[in-house]
Chains A and B, each alone.
Chain A
């Protein structure tokens, strides 16, 4: 897994996402979710390729169900792009790399 991806928890979420100068893509995922595993390597690549423009962070909903509830996540994978600490865009479901890059384009 890429070093550029951080793993968030309930105690670190607000600090990491809130203090970031860059937009942060938070990947709500879990071990038991097949489509989440499909997009994990793609997010790794995007994190590396877009380093300096976009940050990618992972949030395991098993470990932080409170955050999943707070952001009303009812399906995973859900990707929420946070800008200045606020949710700016939400993508539900697995997608291919070109589609994801298109969806992130406005933040790059």
Chain B
């Protein structure tokens, strides 16, 4: 039987790694199940691994690249002895203590880890458009990672879909390479922060296709155009572009916890307000997986700290009980 660990952390974005730093420094020898590399779904390091410059994380007056920030957080957790496992949790059983966590084959009789406390920090992942042609065109003009792929669109005309911070930030970043960037947004105003909006609106390379949604991506082997529909008039326009970047929002990674932890209608985990506690005593949740309001790297890191302290105090209380 596998040893019982004090703390297992599932997920390795700012929330999970902050929880790892804190629990490691509290001598709880945490295991972090960080996930598996992927360019299209969740991945070690979380959403910042696919972003560009992070300008609003305190402590970096000149900004820092998202992947670098996460590499630093991981090294910091490792420095204090967090054990980081590059694999995906495939099943959990929170019905009895110690909690059981499987990595790899979910049908294995024995769980891979048993834990007195579990911190869930599996985050959220980008939504795709849900078009049939998407999977075929990923890597052939359709991209889910502006930092990774912007370089290949030098002097191309491209489209960015979305109106929030990530979309506007990507559009601005991509003007370093692209000839023109068309931001396609379903409303007539942006949801992004004011500073990002002003920067994008003032950028001569960015044009805006308001009140529009992407209906179809053209191209057999490579993206050769994007058909957009005006949501008010129904009028269709074909944009003559060779690149498409999608940034239309996120969904929480909570499939693993179906039937184990209560979820809201929108899929986010439920926590007791002002804490990281879930309905299951000893299971804590932090970061974007339980945050459908703020969803920032710094709030994720802050809630990771809360989860670590909640877990530490709970374990302590168990010990004395």
1/0 per residue, CB under 8 A from B, across A63-98: the answer is 000001000111111100000000000001111110
| In-complex Cβ contact of A35 among B43, B138, B152 (8 A) | B43
Q: Taking the complex as formed, is B38 at the interface, i.e. its CB lies under 8 A from any CB of chain A?
A: yes
1/0 per residue, CB under 8 A from B, across A31-47: the answer is 01111111100100000
Closest-CB distance, A44 to chain B (whole angstroms): 13
Q: Taking the complex as formed, is A30 at the interface, i.e. its CB lies under 8 A from any CB of chain B?
A: yes
Q: Are A35 and B50 in contact (CB under 8 A)?
A: yes
Q: Are B44 and A33 in contact (CB under 8 A)?
A: no
Interface residues of B in 28-61 (CB under 8 A from A): 36-40, 43-45, 48-50
Given known contacts A32-B65, A34-B45, A38-B43, A96 and B148 CB-to-CB distance under 8 angstroms:
no
How many Å lie between the Cα of A68 and that of B67 in the bound state? 22
Given known contacts A68-B152, A96-B86, A35 and B139 CB-to-CB distance under 8 angstroms:
no
Q: Are B39 and A92 in contact (CB under 8 A)?
A: yes
Q: Taking the complex as formed, is B141 at the interface, i.e. its CB lies under 8 A from any CB of chain A?
A: yes
What is the size, in residues, of chain A's interface with B at 8 Å between Cβ atoms?
Answer: 27
Q: Are B37 and A35 in contact (CB under 8 A)?
A: yes
How many Å lie between the Cα of A62 and that of B71 in the bound state? 21
How many Å lie between the Cα of A32 and that of B68 in the bound state? 9
Given known contacts A38-B44, A68-B152, A74 and B37 CB-to-CB distance under 8 angstroms:
no
How many Å lie between the Cα of A78 and that of B151 in the bound state? 14
Q: Which residues of B contact A95 (CB under 8 A)?
A: 36-38
Q: Which residues of B contact A38 (CB under 8 A)?
A: 37, 43-45, 49
Q: Taking the complex as formed, is B145 at the interface, i.e. its CB lies under 8 A from any CB of chain A?
A: yes
Q: Are A76 and B67 in contact (CB under 8 A)?
A: no
Q: Are B148 and A76 in contact (CB under 8 A)?
A: yes
Q: Are B71 and A37 in contact (CB under 8 A)?
A: yes
Q: Taking the complex as formed, is A5 at the interface, i.e. its CB lies under 8 A from any CB of chain B?
A: no
How many Å lie between the Cα of A93 and that of B88 in the bound state? 17
| In-complex Cβ contact of B37 among A68, A72, A73, A96 (8 A) | A96
How many Å lie between the Cα of A56 and that of B249 in the bound state? 36
| In-complex Cβ contact of A34 among B138, B141, B147 (8 A) | B147
Q: Are A33 and B139 in contact (CB under 8 A)?
A: no
How many Å lie between the Cα of A61 and that of B148 in the bound state? 11
Q: Are A33 and B88 in contact (CB under 8 A)?
A: no
What is the size, in residues, of chain B's interface with A at 8 Å between Cβ atoms?
Answer: 32
Which residue of chain B lies nearest to A37 when distances are taken between CB atoms in the complex? B67
Q: Are A35 and B145 in contact (CB under 8 A)?
A: yes
How many Å lie between the Cα of A38 and that of B147 in the bound state? 14
Given known contacts A34-B70, A74-B141, A78-B139, A93 and B147 CB-to-CB distance under 8 angstroms:
no
1/0 per residue, CB under 8 A from A, across B127-167: the answer is 00000000000111101010111011100000000000000
Q: Taking the complex as formed, is B14 at the interface, i.e. its CB lies under 8 A from any CB of chain A?
A: no
Q: Taking the complex as formed, is B66 at the interface, i.e. its CB lies under 8 A from any CB of chain A?
A: yes
Q: Taking the complex as formed, is B87 at the interface, i.e. its CB lies under 8 A from any CB of chain A?
A: yes
Q: Are A35 and B36 in contact (CB under 8 A)?
A: no
How many Å lie between the Cα of A37 and that of B71 in the bound state? 9
Interface-centre pick from B37, B40, B48, B65 (highest chain A CB count, 10 A): B37
Residue pairs across A and B with Cβ atoms less than 8 A apart, 6 shown, are A32-B67, A34-B45, A68-B152, A74-B152, A76-B151, A78-B139
Which positions in B face A, CB cutoff 8 Å? 36-40, 43-45, 48-50, 65-67, 70-71, 86-88, 138-141, 143, 145, 147-149, 151-153, 222
The 10 residue pairs across chains A and B that have the minimum distance between CB atoms:
A34-B67, A92-B139, A96-B36, A93-B39, A94-B37, A34-B49, A75-B139, A38-B37, A74-B152, A33-B148
